[in-house]
Amino acid sequence: MSPAIRAASILPARREEIELHTADGLRLVGELALPADRDPVATLVCLHPLPTHGGMMDSHVFRKAAWRLPALADLAVLRFNTRGTSSVRGTSEGTFDGGEAERYDVAAAIEYAEFAELPNIWLLGWSFGTDLTLRHGCDPGIAGAILLSPPLRSSTDADLAAWAKSGKPLTALIPEFDDYLRPDEARRRFAVVPQAEVLGVPGAKHLWVGDAETVLDEVVRRVNPAVPVPLPTTWDGPMETGDASAYADRTVAAFADLPMPDEQRG
């Protein structure tokens, strides 16, 4: 029987530590993972959850994407820490700015992907990262965006209108039991973007704990539809085991968001 792909499984890929350089002079740390022996078909640029509450480039869905999708779905996965954010990879320069100056971080990541000639660039935002995507990511260089647990905290009607005007595909994966925006309210809020697809995920919560495989399947379905899903759960080739112990004390906080007023909850 083939070995199972587990939470800490690392499948083969070409992995490179990278640095992004922002227009306001900061150095951001990150990693690029590419298929081991072929060119990628598409690219994910990952925008992580709220760094003041533990979000980082290694937040679990993004870590699993980087460890699995180059091998399973021919995808390039670019992860990085926004300004002032730390992980095992290191700490990016600068300080957290609540999503304002982070516009330069988003631009630097897209620019890096373009200069590296990575194909078919998609933004994959999670929680705080979805606000960065909606506010700063509607760039001519991207093909589309996927939003995980969007709280729609700082994104405005003007941001949604810009996406509507662009016509770029936009998919929102909404947990049934999200803390901030649930499926019915999300469908109402995203109705102003005609091309937006809102997918409610039964039983899921904001953190996607226990549902990372569902997320990865839905991401691949949209970014590289030639790959059959659900993705394999076993692997016959070489496979390493990652050390996630550095994040053991951040499991709860890593994806938490700031409280929202009751009237803003879904």
Answer whether residue 253 shows pLDDT above 60. Answer: no
| 82 vs 260, higher pLDDT | 82
Q: What is the fold of 13-232? A: Rossmann fold (3.40.50)
Q: Where are the beta strands (DSSP E) in 183-262?
A: 196-201, 240-241
Helix (H) or strand (E) holding 9: strand 9-10
Which of 102-116, 177-191, 200-214, 235-249 comes out lowest in average pLDDT?
Answer: 235-249
pLDDT in tens, 32-67: 999 999 999 999 999 999 999 999 999 999 999 999
Answer whether residue 199 shows pLDDT above 60. Answer: yes
Mean pLDDT of 162-178: 98
Mean pLDDT of 136-154: 97
Q: How far apart are CA 245 and CA 251, in angstroms?
A: 10
What are the structural domain ranges in the chain?
13-232
Which of 15-24, 80-89, 114-123, 250-259 comes out lowest in average pLDDT?
Answer: 250-259
Give the per-residue pLDDT at 259. Answer: 46
Around 217, how many Cα atoms within 13 Å sit in the side-chain half-sphere? 12
Give the per-residue pLDDT at 1. Answer: 79
Average pLDDT over the chain, rounded to whole?
A: 93
Residues near 256 by beta carbon (within 8 Å), at least 6 away in sequence? 49, 50, 53, 54, 207
Rounded alpha-carbon distances, angstroms, from residue 117 to 114, 131, 190, 236: 5, 26, 31, 31
Answer whether residue 192 shows pLDDT above 90. Answer: yes
Mean pLDDT of 222-248: 91
Percent of the chain with pLDDT over 90: 89
Tokens of 103: 């516009």
The reported pTM is 0.93
Q: How far apart are CA 7 and CA 244, in angstroms?
A: 9
Give the per-residue pLDDT at 243. Answer: 82
Torsion from C-alpha of 152, 137, 204, 228, nearest 10 degrees: 150
Tokens of 40: 């990628």
Torsion from C-alpha of 211, 216, 219, 221, nearest 10 degrees: -110
Q: Is 175 helix (H, G, I), strand (E, B) or coil?
A: strand
Answer whether residue 12 shows pLDDT above 60. Answer: yes
Label residue 181 by pLDDT band (50, 70, 90): very high
Q: Please provide residue 109's backbone torsions phi and psi, each rounded to the nearest 5 degrees.
A: -70, -45
Residue 20, by phi and psi: left (phi above 0), alpha (psi -120 to 50) or beta?
beta
Cβ-based burial of 147 (10 A; exposed 0-12, middle 13-18, buried ≥19): buried
Q: Which of 244, 213, 226, 247 is nearest to 5 (CA)?
A: 213
**How many Cβ atoms are within 10 Å of 247's Cβ, its own excluded?**
18
Q: How far apart are CA 74 and CA 70, in angstroms?
A: 5
Label residue 247 by pLDDT band (50, 70, 90): low
Give the per-residue pLDDT at 244. Answer: 73
